[in-house]
Structure 1
């Protein structure tokens, strides 16, 4: 009888050990990779003065993923005029007259990644000329992602005039339609200053003030900004307008207004921000 009991206990212990081993094995399995994030990277490039065909303006689109993971998915893109998202007409690069004349560089298309993290590029044909004019910008938009998460969906791309004497002023713009949760940082870009041009017009540094503009119901879901100052420098032409958010249970919109620029000009005056509910 005792022998049978010992044998039964041995079987139970072996089974328990097997279950434990299986549990340990399952715990060691790596977690599935989350969707990679995709971002458009803003550029500021010279227009060019050489006669002949348009110049290729390359815009990087990057993906990021946790260590050991890759990107698998697609995202669509399109190039639109600066004035489509609030840039003043005099600083807007326009399809046809300023860019888009070469059909081999389409202004709408799709980018895809299959198990890689390689940077891809959107090429835009920029028209070269000898005419002194303002620095101008167009937008690259990313939309309809599949298997990816869009981090930066809209960025300006500056076409800096290189024919003016003296060079034109620096310009500051910000993307319209920013969506925020929990915290809000709106990118603010300066272009058209730096290097020889900055030395020529004295704009090595540009400052601009910003404030929030409330709707009819007053400030809801954020702490108002009355007067804050941003600084953009040659070599560091990107900063962020920050607004502290508060918990809300409904979607709220407000505007950020830019004013009192020094060392350059405003390329746009206001940008709309949307706060999504969070707690």
Structure 2
């Protein structure tokens, strides 16, 4: 059975994705800071049949990250790493003029440093995964410059020019095959690319996560690396960010899960995606 590590899995999007994977037969290693809610989620996940290891702890703790990967190794390996745990940096959110610097440091630790640390810990297992190898397609990469278009003024800047097909960047007529290993799914936010008042600290951390993901995809062409903006959701994180906002009309996290599963089912190329209409759409494009 395939194995996934999911951080922040006691509630919200992490729990919803864990439930969907459990129903598909995935074995899971799940984490959250609070032991009670995590064990409750784990009991529910085990009801679907898979093996589930629940390890409460803080993703900023290197020992905890090592324990998560060790648990995956005991289950047989690792095919998918989901860096879902997030921190706002201030609750409720405040303007940058009032942003506590300690809060910003905490947001960077949880949203940027911890995902990299966990990815580093898990790389040896992810590289040896064969879960996605049967999906591999080799398509020539056409453009070398980070612009789409010709030399006229219609050229549009592409912020992730090499995220579509890294193994073919040399433009060979017979491109070198790079076998696909496991996948890393980093949960981002539209605050990483849009300027929303009071979301500056959190958005800066998620923007750093996006860039980190893009570089990882270039450096590890055998992996699928997806950084995904899930869109608006009704979660405790949002309620803590903007407690006075009525979020009753916001979609539940379960509505985003099909888009994340779409990435797996289609062995989607590495890149930035947004969740839309039950599938993941490459950033800057509309669903077809």
TM-score normalised according to structure 1 size: 0.31
**Structure richer in strand, relative to its length:** 1
TM-score normalised according to structure 2 size: 0.30
**Structure richer in helix, relative to its length:** 2
Q: Looking at CA atoms only, which structure, 1 or 2, has the larger radius of gyration?
A: 1
